[in-house]
Amino acid sequence: MMRERVVTFALLVLAFDAYGYRVEELLNSRYPCKGKYVVKNRSNADFVIVEASANDIADISQKAFVDRSGTSNLATFWTEGLMRHIRRNFPHLGMMWLEMATRNWIGHWKDGKKGGLRLPPYRLDAAEDHLHVLRYYDLPQLDILHMIGPGWSQDDWNFRDGCYFTDPVHPTRYGHNISASVIMYALDGMLQRAAARDLAMYVEAKFLESIDFDRNETYDRLVKSNENWYFGTDVQTKPSTFMTTSHSSCLNIDLQFDGRVSLLAVSLLHTYQGVGTARVGLTERCIATSDEFVQIGKEEVFDCLWGERASETQMHILSHDFSAVGRSGCAKYLRVCSSDDPGRAAKLKLFSTSFVRKV
């Protein structure tokens, strides 16, 4: 039987009768699991949310030491100290930095008339000073006040004073609910990206095949049908690869796979002059095709000429789903053809291909 797992989120520098309960509720309702999520002030946590308080605001004008980029202040000093302590002693922890407080009375009324247009600086906070350190440690920062709005109008300030803040630095119940929603939005994004990365790694490990065209031996072994393609380079300082400079020139490259393919991609040279278009597709050959190369699915055309003053390889993923076409047991081949338009250059350089085996 699976042992229940308690995933703990620790909140640092927090008056806990606040957004923590709402984050805990949202986590357990949105991501039910064998166990539960707990959000509280505790040391043995899996994830830490650091709330920056109003006290840091007073520190940003006090110089403290010289750091990586020059003279710093006490806000960055204590942020750096906290990051070093946590990373040294708890390197496994996930972390997020939350900015909730500001001195929103900063700024003044135009012509001294209350209710008129406020002039900058609109507020004072330590968010930028914290970010100076957080970027170095690659940690996410959620700045609630920047998300709410710039505070240019009286309506903005009425919302802050009447809804978000209960006093110049402490959020109301509504303010804490806003913060909880922002935290969950960030966590949702992190979990979605992690799931996509895990899926990509799984697909790559189990089903993805890649072939680089950087060796003459690969050309000799895999090219089975060739019309004026060769392994080489037209510029001495550039790497050799599969290329052609002839119009209407095609080649078929053995993918060394006889099942069905669900996804196909190629990497081609893109540059600003002297290249043409590539017609790319998938073919198969076996006894059922009378040992002839037969196109399966649709070909796609990629223009290798672009306006950038640079030469780079670009990967193109064919939009056609090949998983429902072709025959199992027939060898699969990548087919690439150069342009037949005499008004365009013919040169193509092919650097690699990748395909996903159908599950």
Task: For residues 124 and 109, give the distance between their C-alpha atoms in angstroms, rounded to a whole number.
Answer: 16
Segments of the chain assigned to CATH 2.60.120.260:
209-357
The CATH code for residues 209-357 is 2.60.120.260
**The amino acid at 207:** F
* CB 103, CB 56: distance < 8 Å: no
**pLDDT tens for each residue of 120-144:** 665 667 788 888 889 988 899 998 8
Token reading at 75: 């806000």
Please give the span between the terminal C-alpha atoms of the chain, in angstroms, as a whole number. 30
Task: For residues 20 and 40, give the distance between their C-alpha atoms in angstroms, rounded to a whole number.
Answer: 7
- Bond into 121 cis (ω within 30): yes
* CB 252, CB 296: distance < 8 Å: no
Token reading at 350: 């092919």
Query: Is residue 66 predicted with pLDDT exceeding 60?
Result: no
0.75 exceeded by pTM: no
Segments of the chain assigned to CATH 3.40.50.1110:
5-204
* Average pLDDT, integer, range 292-316: 91
Domain 5-204: CATH superfamily, name plus number: SGNH hydrolase (3.40.50.1110)
What region, left, alpha or beta, does residue 186 occupy, with left being phi > 0 and alpha being psi -120 to 50 degrees?
alpha
SS3 content of the chain, % helix, strand, coil (to 5): 30, 35, 35
In this prediction, residue 14 carries a pLDDT of 46
Task: For residues 51 and 171, give the distance between their C-alpha atoms in angstroms, rounded to a whole number.
Answer: 12
* Average pLDDT, integer, range 247-275: 93
**pLDDT tens for each residue of 161-187:** 778 877 767 788 888 888 888 898 888
